[in-house]
Amino acid sequence: MAIYTIGAVSNLDPTLALISTFVQLRITNTTAARLEPIVVNAYSITDAGPEGLVETLYFTTTFAIAAPRGVVTLVIPTTVANYTITVSSPGAAGFVSDVSLYAAGRDVNGFIVPEQTFPFGDWKAITTV
């Protein structure tokens, strides 16, 4: 199964205020075939000291993109100090080459947060069994 991730994102400014309150994630089916299931997870990340990082799931959804070259946009809350987002498809064999991703963090006023903008090239593909 292929999993895309943006890695860990720090969401606090120097005064410890939240930088973004939500992320808009756009998932595009780059083929004419149906993609399903698509699973999106968001995790809060905390430092557990010597044990490393702890990821706590706080958002999950599963859906399909049926329309050829269809697009789904999700709004994912990011009211946590650190977060990561993963996108995967356990059932779509060619998922890595069948999808395009774009995410943009937004502040409380809805403005894009430049340091939390992730075009497709910023997503890391991880392949697991």
Q: Can you name the residues that pair with 105 across neighbouring β-strands? A: 23
pLDDT at 39: 95
- Residue 77 CB-half CA count within 13 A: 7
Q: What is the largest CA-CA distance in the chain?
A: 47
Going along the chain from its start, the domains and CATH numbers come out as 2-127 (2.60.120)
119 in Cβ contact with 33 (< 8 Å): no
Tell me the whole-structure pTM to 2 decimals.
0.90
Cis peptide before 77 (omega within 30 of 0): no
- pLDDT tens across 17-31, in order? 999 999 999 999 988
What is the average pLDDT score of the chain? 90
- pLDDT tens across 56-98, in order? 999 999 999 987 889 999 999 999 999 999 999 887 666 767 8
pLDDT at 105: 97
pLDDT at 36: 87
Q: How far apart are CA 34 and CA 43, in angstroms?
A: 27
pLDDT at 60: 98
Rg (CA), the chain: 15
pLDDT at 129: 54
